[in-house]
């Protein structure tokens, strides 16, 4: 089981270290090797996704990523920005299916900004298409054009999807729903975007292949509202790259902290890149206070989806639940009366339970 470990930027190295400790504590044999991705790679090589990292990632069975980016690199040319490395590895490895669970642990019900009765028992899976849409569409750019009688800057991006791209991500969502509560909500903006009219048409066709799964449709603006108004109406939500980027972050905050939410990005053979849903948090980097649980839970998803180690994945998830029940809290989920701990101490607590 070969794992390419990409600590990345900001708090990435701190939180990734704790997930690696958890993996090393298991009765499994892993081969783990670190490489550079993101801003640290730009600093070292001038490339956010260097060739050495590409070779290691392609040879590995799975990739464990911390986080990339930070204001330090905001003024760099676009092709040298850390996020380009993340987009590059997703595209090169064909990681088209992004799975983002939003689960509210009972112990954290008071950490959500919504009323406990609205979010208690929340368990949503957002399935986001990851290698198409406006983020990858061509043409794109900023150039000078004559518009409205003025020679001025003109920015443009192109949203596009092929039928096959839509069909394969929908099948991932329906297959996931069959193992859950058998409900899929497909999110689009078909009333104004032809690209997402195609999305809805294909969703209806794929839905007919799964008669035991209930399919519904929702416009993205309404979906954003409904996630706050009544999030427990959803089981599996499936949508395109841009809408999924926004909705999954919104859903993450229903649970009280984005520091609790893992994610998996899979190819057609379940080779995956696993990372926490949050960013690099440069404001707290190096302080030892970041929450490593999302990264540890991402490692559990790796065991489940890529290595078919369901029982071991459940062991890790059970350990996280027990640690929360014991009252351990990093700053992002801390409340009065709990045991406030740092990154390393939270890792220690999970290891102690394991």
CATH code for position 110? 3.40.718.10
pLDDT in tens, 71-122: 999 999 989 999 999 989 999 999 999 999 999 888 887 878 888 889 888 9
> 80 labelled as ligand-binding?
yes
Residues 185 and 234 in one domain: yes
Which of 31-35, 84-88, 112-116, 160-164 shows the lowest mean pLDDT across its residues? 112-116
Among 267, 264, 336, 271, smallest CA distance to 294 is for: 264
Residues 117 and 92 in one domain: no
Q: What is the CA angle 60-61-66, rounded to 5? A: 75
Q: Which one has a higher pLDDT value, 163 or 335?
A: 163
Q: Contact at 8 Å (CB) between 184 and 171?
A: no
pLDDT in tens, 225-253: 999 999 999 999 999 999 999 999 898 88
Residues 309 and 218 in one domain: no
Per-residue pLDDT at 220: 98
> 22 labelled as ligand-binding?
no
Number of H helices, E strands in the chain: 12, 14
Tokens of 247: 């909705």
The tally of domains found in the chain comes to 2
The angle that helices 12-24 and 343-353 make with each other, rounded to 10 degrees, is 20
Q: Which domain holds residue 167?
A: 104-257
Residues 136 and 217 in one domain: yes
Residues 348 and 290 in one domain: yes
Domain contains 262: no
- Omega into 5 within 30° of 0, i.e. cis? no
Active site residues: 135, 189, 221, 245, 249
> 291 labelled as ligand-binding?
yes
The predicted model gives 4-9 an average pLDDT of 98
Sorted by sequence, the CB contacts under 8 Å of residue 46 that are 6+ apart come out as 80
Q: Which of 257, 292, 325 is the last residue of a domain?
A: 257
> 281 labelled as ligand-binding?
yes
* Residue in the block written with tokens 């903006």: 189
Domain contains 33: yes
Complete DSSP assignment for 224-246: HHHHHH-GGG-SEEEE-HHHHHH
């Amino acid at each position: 089981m070969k794992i390419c470990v990409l600590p990345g930027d900001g708090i990435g190295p701190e939180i990734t270290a704790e997930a690696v400790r958890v993996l090393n504590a298991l009765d499994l044999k892993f081969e783990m090797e670190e490489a550079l991705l993101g801003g640290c790679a730009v600093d070292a090589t001038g490339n956010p996704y260097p060739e050495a990292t590409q070779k290691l990632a392609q040879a590995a069975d799975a990739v464990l990523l911390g986080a990339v980016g930070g204001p330090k690199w905001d003024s760099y040319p676009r092709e040298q920005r850390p996020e380009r490395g993340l987009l590059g590895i997703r595209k090169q490895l064909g990681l088209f299916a992004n799975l983002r669970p939003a689960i509210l642990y009972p112990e954290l019900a008071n950490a959500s900004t919504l009323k406990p009765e609205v979010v208690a028992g929340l368990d949503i899976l957002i399935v986001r298409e990851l290698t198409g849409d406006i983020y990858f569409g061509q043409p794109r750019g900023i150039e000078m054009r004559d518009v409205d009688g003025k020679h001025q800057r003109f920015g443009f991006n192109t949203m596009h999807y092929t039928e096959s791209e839509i069909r394969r991500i929908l099948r991932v969502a329906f297959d996931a729903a069959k193992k859950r509560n058998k409900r899929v909500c497909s999110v689009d903006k078909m009333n104004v975007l032809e690209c997402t009219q195609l999305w809805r048409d294909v969703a209806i066709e794929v839905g007919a292949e799964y008669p035991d799964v209930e399919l519904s449709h929702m416009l993205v603006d309404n979906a954003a509202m409904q996630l706050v108004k009544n999030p427990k109406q959803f089981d599996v939500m499936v949508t395109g790259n841009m809408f999924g980027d926004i909705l999954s972050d919104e859903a993450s905050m229903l649970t009280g902290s984005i520091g609790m939410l893992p994610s998996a990005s899979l190819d057609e053979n379940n080779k995956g890149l696993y990372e926490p849903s949050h960013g690099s948090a440069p404001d707290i980097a190096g302080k030892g206070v970041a929450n490593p649980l999302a990264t540890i839970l991402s490692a559990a998803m790796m065991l489940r989806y890529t290595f078919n180690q369901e029982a071991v994945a459940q062991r890790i998830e059970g350990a996280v639940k027990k640690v929360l029940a014991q009252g351990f809290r990093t700053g992002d989920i801390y409340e009065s009366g709990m045991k406030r701990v740092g990154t390393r101490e939270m890792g220690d607590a999970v290891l102690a339970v394991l």
